[in-house]
Structure formats: C-alpha cells, structure tokens
Amino acid sequence: MPLVIAIDGPAASGKGTLARRLAQHYGLPHLDTGLLYRSVALTMLDAGFSLDDTDAAARAAETLIADRLADPRLRERAMGEAASRISSVPAVRAALLAWQRSFAGNAVGAVLDGRDIGTVICPDARVKLFVTASAEERARRRHLELTARGEDTTLAMILADVRARDERDANRSAAPLKAAEDAVILDTTELDAEAAFAAAKHVVDGARTQ
C-alpha cells in the first residue's frame, strides 16, 4: 500500500525541512507544494502581470512547467508574499489540484507539504501531520534563513509578514489553512530539527504497522 504523508502548517513552522527528512528516510518523492504557487506568481511577474489579475493567475497555473520549480528566485521573501496572495484565488487552486494529486499518486507513495494537503489534496493519506510553532519562533527562523542568504530584512518585518500570511491563509475562501480532523498536531516551537524528525518518524512508523 502506498505511503502518502501529508504535512500541513503555517509559514516557517518547519514542515518543509521535516518533509524532506521524511522523504529521504522512507525513500519517497517529495513535493513542496508552496513552490507551485510561488512559480505561478513568478510567471505572472516575469510576464508583467499584476498579482491581482485573477485571469492571468489562472492561466499561469494551468500552464505550470515543472522545470520552473528549480528557479532560485522562488525562495526569495518577496515570492513567499506573492504566493500567499496567489493562493487565495480559487481558480489557481483548482488548476493545481490535479497536478498535486498526480504527484501523490506515485506507486510507492509520496510526501507533500503545504497548507491543504491533508484536508483537500490527499484526504485519504495514511499519515497526516499538522506542523506548527508560535509566530515569534517562526519569524525568528525565517529571519535567520533570509539573512543567511544575504537578504536585507529585519525580525520585525518578518514577524509582520508571518502574521499577515497566517491571516490570509486561515481566512481565504478556497481551502483555508486548518488541521485535518485526523491529523497529528506537532508543535515545533521548542523542538530542533532532530527532535521534530524523531517525533514525526514515531507517528509514521506507528501508521505503517497498522
């Protein structure tokens, strides 16, 4: 039986790092679904469209090219903000739904992380994790990450961004951010990467024996 691991959570909660570790450990393909939305936003901006142009957003989502997911610009802070805006467009989410489900349909399974994996994309996933942390801790982590890459920003700016994204993600009409009813909640506020991985692995191993 395929092992599909759905990992959801807010920005900078550690879900991406955790997803990559789990995928490597269990030999599964991994998809950071946030890159899909960042790619849609980048495609629009490169073509000169406003992020408020919902028709252009839908077209960009419908013609998404997997090769663009490797563009280093997708990791920039501005793309995170742009993706948060794009992800609220129902037509964009609908266009990317089949793309994500196809990836999850791998014969051996897959690990996907995002905002609506356990609730919308893979509601039948064998393992569902909702990874979270305090807004202050998430802002601290993101600030360290961005400054390490040479981006000029402040902790206060990042905290404001985190809170704004949380608000948009939780209150959008299309697939709002929330934990699936059968998801295991993993609060990483006080956990380092190793401790978070150990806790998640315990959950996955338990599900595999059932």
Q: Copy the structure tokens of residue 69.
A: 């997911």
Tell me: is residue 147 an annotated ligand-binding position: no
DSSP letter assigned to residue 183 = P
End-to-end Cα separation, the chain, in angstroms:
12
Tell me: is residue 14 an annotated ligand-binding position: yes
Tell me: is residue 119 an annotated ligand-binding position: no
Tell me: is residue 16 an annotated ligand-binding position: yes
In degrees to the nearest 10, what's the CA dihedral of 178, 184, 188, 193? -120
Tell me: is residue 56 an annotated ligand-binding position: no
| Whether the Cβ atoms of residue 108 and residue 164 lie closer than 8 Å to each other | no
Tell me: is residue 11 an annotated ligand-binding position: yes
Tell me: is residue 12 an annotated ligand-binding position: yes
10 Å CB burial of residue 117 (0-12, 13-18, 19+) is: buried
Tell me: is residue 10 an annotated ligand-binding position: yes
Tell me: is residue 9 an annotated ligand-binding position: yes
| Whether the Cβ atoms of residue 4 and residue 127 lie closer than 8 Å to each other | yes
DSSP lists the bridge partners of residue 111 as 5, 30
10 Å CB burial of residue 182 (0-12, 13-18, 19+) is: exposed
**Strands, DSSP E only, in the chain?**
3-8, 30-32, 109-114, 127-132, 184-187
CA distance 90 to 68: 22
Residue numbering of the annotated binding site: 9-17
Residue numbering of the annotated binding site for ATP: 9-17
